[in-house]
Amino acid sequence: MDKPDYENLEVIQRNRLAPRTYWLPPTHLLLNGTWDFQYAPTPLEASEYPPKDGSSEEIWSPINVPGHWQLQGHGHPHYTNVQFPFPSNPPYIPIENPTGTYRRHFKVPTEWDSTSQLRLRFDGVDSAYHVWLNGSFVGYSQGSRNAAEFDITGIAKNDSDNELVVRVYQWCKASYIEDQDQWWLSGIFRDVTLLALPGQSRIEDFFVKTNLDENYEHAVLQVDVTLNKPELSSVDLLLILRDSGVEVSSTRKTVDADKANFEIPVSNPKKWTAESPYLYQLEISLQTQGGESIQTIAQNVGFRKVELKDGLITVNGSPILLRGTNRHDHHPIHGRAVPYEFLKQDLLLMKQHNINALRTSHYPGQPWLYDLADELGFWVMDEADLECHGFYDVVTQHVTPAPYLDYEGSKEEFFPKAAQFTSDNPEWRESYLDRMVQMVQRDKNHPCIFSWSLGNESFYGVNHVAMIEYARSIDDRLIHYEGDIKAQETDMYSYMYPDQDRLKRHVEIDGIKDGQWEKPVILCEYAHAMGNGPGGLDDYQDAFRKYKRLQGGFIWEWANHGLLHKDGYYAYGGDFGDQPNDSTFVMDGLCNSEHKPTAGLIELKRVFQPINFKYEDGKVFITNEYDFIGLDHLEAKYAIKAYGGELSLLESGTLEVPSVRPWDTVELTLPADLNKYSDHDEEVFWSLSFTLKESTSWAPASHEVAWFQHKISADRQPSIPVGLPASGSVKVVETRTKVEVSGSDWEVHFDRVRGYVTKWSHGSDLLEVDPVTRAAIYPCFWRAPTDNDKDSAVSVWKEYGVHRMTSQLRSFKVETGADGSGVRIETKTYFAPPVLGWGYDIHTVYHISSKGALSIKLDLNPKGVFPVDVPRVGLNIRLPKSLSQASWFGRGPGESYPDKKHSQAIGIWSSAVDDLEVPYDVPQGNGNRMDTRWVRLVDADGHGIRASRLDAATFNWTGGRLSDQTIEDAKHPCDLVREDATLLNLSPRVAGVGSATCGPGVRDDLLVKVKPESYGFVLESI
């Protein structure tokens, strides 16, 4: 039996036209919209087409194009990261191969020239498809994220209805090399377009190059045009270069061959960079020799030169620093069928958050993406539609890598074996090469593209070398591929998810000879942004500053891939019954599934800001970290604020923005002596904000680009209360099971069986008893895990029972002041998990003042074989639900952690308790706020509590209505059941978040190490 096209390695396409640069003629018709659709479980069970008797009685249902059939009621989405969702036996695919048959009727517009060449263009179909028109076979193509055009001249009817039928197969042989980390979704998911081009002489393709001289000043605009024209005929080509509508240069040439080459000198053109994306307009006009227009094409042109120079990636002679992100096509309802406005909003958000580069992971994007990147300004790494990561699972099945192998060692051990399936298999050469040809030919005229990438996680083999040879044969852009571990053929060393030690080794060792290097280092993926994270962004950025050779990289990744489920939540792997799956690993973005910024993106904006600040002895120094432009487009405003119980603005105004070249440092001229505030009674902070002077294509005027804050008042040694308060009268009532302490209008109760506070009231109740611990205030070493905890830390913590620790009372002592003015209660407890032989001896001293203020001091001493670290150390406090408004003096307004705090400024902030929780798509620990001096929680009348450190040091706190257990148990936000109380945690120490789901964990010095320690808090009623 003959192999079907979708399993035949010798068939990549049938009748597909040669790929070309993307442009649409004025005579085009979008065929998007509602189509007819049939779904079948296998190709053989799909209705026969064309039908033998010329008619069809099959039942059709409507479907939207572009779109995926799994998101429109046919089959279900399936998510895997690495593993294939089908048996690995290339090039064969499962018999169960869902097949969608699409049908649409259209008419050729009557105003089109009847002699035109008619083409059908498909910009994206997953994964392979046959096409028929009016019952005649048109062609076949595969390569889901690559375009295909077919000539339908002579098949299409100009004067009557046309029936277009497309049969799409969910799986094909190419599915083995389209194993990207995303949902498996099928169908016609990008535009379908009918094109009409001149029927005789016409422009088939063109290639625009901007060749700058050695001083990067003047240019020669090179334009190579490919024509289709009858023999023995001559035509004219007219090229006009314009700058904002004003003609810069023009040239005309008579052409009697199928190729024409132009070289047009351009004197000192404005240069294109991601920071100054200046575009000229090129018009290419095909005319008769009599001057009659045959065809006109418009193309934006950016003058720039990308090259390796002195071992660095340079543009126009200057090194660049990539502040980038990886971007998949994703929409929460439409999957990879991303509307233009949604895609544009993605890019606007990137620019607004100081992102200057994107990698089209792991396939070419929609054509619009590159037009927008040219206009807005991005460095784009254009990546071929290629990944076969699943073969790694095949070769490592039942194999445990040797413990001495790190990530790079594991690659060297197993990748060559995995490459033998396709990447290093000559039978797959044309399949690989086709993907490079398609990408380069379509996107070659975009100045934003600085690098071609061969794909992702496809190991390395002879077929990659063929891709490189092809790209170099026609273009001089740089070549990237992480799988070329030693950068033998590619232009840069590329790594994924290194910790700081490994990164240092890469930069200082790989490719270094006699202290010199020939190729730079980039991180094609780093800082895995899954859930509450990524932590440690500042460490990477500091490394980019320190090592000239290290030219930045691309955060993984831009947005979560959640799909809106019928039950109202954003689904991930397994939620549609898909097996096998990789669960929540698809939720790893800087934006949530609605593409709204997460706390991680807000942190990234601050870390990526293009101005670096340094404060020293009352002087402020700034470094311009743009690569090409100064700071003239910005204005600076400063403020000096004092914080205590309330905010006080001491000074504010504007600063003159100095002229400073890229990567130079200058001192700011300040309007006042900042040292004069060093002795201020309250904490005084100086802040500076740089905003846009004028609106741009990506942000309005006054958009903040960078900010800085520094404390300019001196630190003081806090006064620590000692002993009992010396005024007022306190009453103590003791029974066998409890102690009641009261004053004129307040009372505090203790459970002397368990040793904890159970009641505190001042006019109304300020505490509630937790139904599990039977205490209102209780030691805490646990928090709900984050995604970054789950693969490493949480298993160790749970092995040590940190999540199940309970208390045993050892002693309880009451002491009343000599004048009856206060009470001191001292307890000794042992706080430990069941089964295991470790725990904390906790010595707690409570002071209750005559005014009803409650201070708590704890001394912790770990015993036994204890874990290295715990999630946090602190107190859980249960408050009445009526305390629903929070205000605090510390970092805010959002969450902050030791390795994720730079975006949160010190200030006095306020929030409803319900808004303190950070609504991650996948519920997890969240909402910590650092460097807090005090926090208040009050009811609608302003009554409640105020908490601060006993020694006036800063602390962490969280507030909300969700228990740690509820958060941990919930799969989706709809599973969260809020408590009928306000839950407050006060902690002197919390752990960072890291990015350990795929990368380094929390830096060692930012862990909460188990050790003897002391801390305390003061609770006051207000």
Question: CA 234, CA 237: separation in Å to the nearest integer?
Answer: 10
Q: List the beta strands (DSSP E) in 229-292.
A: 235-243, 246-255, 259-266, 280-287
Tokens 């958000």: give the residue. 349
Residue 873's closest CA among 967, 979, 796, 778?
Answer: 778
Quick one: which of 558, 560, 556 has its CA closest to 573? 560
Beta-bridged to residue 779, according to DSSP, are 875
> CA 569 to CA 664: how far, in whole Å?
48
SS3 22: coil
Would you call 379 exposed, middle or buried from its count of C-beta atoms within 10 A (0-12, 13-18, 19+)?
Answer: buried
Distance, CA of 308 to CA of 382 (rounded, Å): 18
C-alpha 684/C-alpha 689 separation (Å) is: 17
Pair 65, 102: CB distance under 8 Å: yes
Cβ contact 916:947 at 8 Å: no
Distance CA 143, CA 440 (A): 14
Helices 500-509 and 537-546: crossing angle in degrees, nearest 10, is 20
C-beta separation of 284 from 296 below 8 A: yes
CB 376 within 8 A of CB 293: no
Q: Using a CB cutoff of 8 Å and minimum separation of 24, what contacts does 537-542 make?
A: 537/603, 537/604, 537/607, 537/899, 537/900, 537/902, 538/607, 538/899, 538/902, 539/500, 539/899, 539/1003, 540/503, 541/607, 541/608
Active site residue 178: no
CB 959 within 8 A of CB 970: no
Q: What share of the chain is helix, strand, coil (3-state, %, to 5)?
A: 15, 40, 45
- CB count within 10 Å of CB 645 equals 11
Cα–Cα–Cα angle for 773, 775, 779, rounded to 5 degrees:
75
The alpha carbons of the chain give a radius of gyration, in whole angstroms, of 33
58 is catalytic: no
* d(C-alpha 849, C-alpha 855), whole Å: 8
With a CB cutoff of 8 Å and minimum separation 6, the contacts of 294 are: 198, 201, 202, 235, 286, 287, 288
3-class SS of residue 286: strand
Catalytic residue among 383, 482, 525, 603: 525
Q: Is the peptide bond before 557 cis (omega within 30 degrees of 0)?
A: yes
> Within 10 A of 940 (CB to CB), how many other CB atoms are there?
9
Q: 3-class SS at 444? A: coil
Write the single-letter amino acid at 821: S
Looking at residue 759, its amino acid is K
Q: Which of 7, 178, 383, 457 is catalytic?
A: 457
The CB density around residue 1009, as the number of other CB atoms within 10 Å, is 15
Answer for the pair 475, 519: CB distance below 8 angstroms, yes or no. no
Contact (CB, 8 A) for 878 and 983: yes
Calpha distance 414→723 (Å, rounded)? 66
Non-local CB neighbours of 81 within 8 Å, separated by 6+ positions: 181, 389, 582, 585, 586
Beta strands across the sheet bearing 449-453: 478-480, 449-453, 379-383, 357-359, 322-326, 550-555, 521-526, 493-496
Just list the catalytic residues: 457, 525
